[in-house]
């Protein structure tokens, strides 16, 4: 699927059946929006960060389901320096 409703940082409400996506750097949200992925693509109800891009990079991503679930990131992937509750 493609991104929809992405724009300035801020949690968004996604239509039923779509995932919320959050793209973060180490200190704040870069993009938050909706993604057309279904089923196993977004099993979590919280925005749990995972590294994205080249190893050692600062870009983190989360997929989650539920209204405004991408408002705050949770967890701290090893070696990223990210803190729980970013944003």
Domain boundaries, the chain: 19-64
* pTM exceeding the 0.75 threshold for the entire prediction: no
DSSP 3-state assignment of 64?
Answer: strand
The predicted pLDDT at position 56 comes to 82
How far is residue 65's CA from residue 54's CA, in Å, rounded to a whole number? 26
- Could you tell me the CA-to-CA distances from 44 to 7, 18, 47 in Å, in that order? 22, 13, 7
Q: Which parts of the chain register pLDDT below 50? A: 1-9, 78-87
The predicted pLDDT at position 57 comes to 83
The predicted pLDDT at position 65 comes to 85
The predicted pLDDT at position 40 comes to 66
Helix %, strand %, coil % of the chain (to 5):
5, 30, 60
């Amino acid at each position: 699927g493609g991104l929809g409703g992405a724009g300035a940082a801020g949690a968004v409400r996604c239509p039923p059946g779509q995932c919320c996506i959050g793209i973060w750097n180490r200190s704040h949200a870069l993009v938050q929006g909706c993604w057309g992925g279904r089923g196993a693509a977004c099993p979590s109800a919280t925005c749990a960060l995972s590294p994205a891009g080249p190893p050692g990079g600062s870009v983190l991503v989360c997929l989650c389901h539920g209204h405004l679930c991408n408002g705050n990131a949770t967890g701290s992937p090893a070696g990223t320096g990210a803190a729980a509750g970013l944003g």
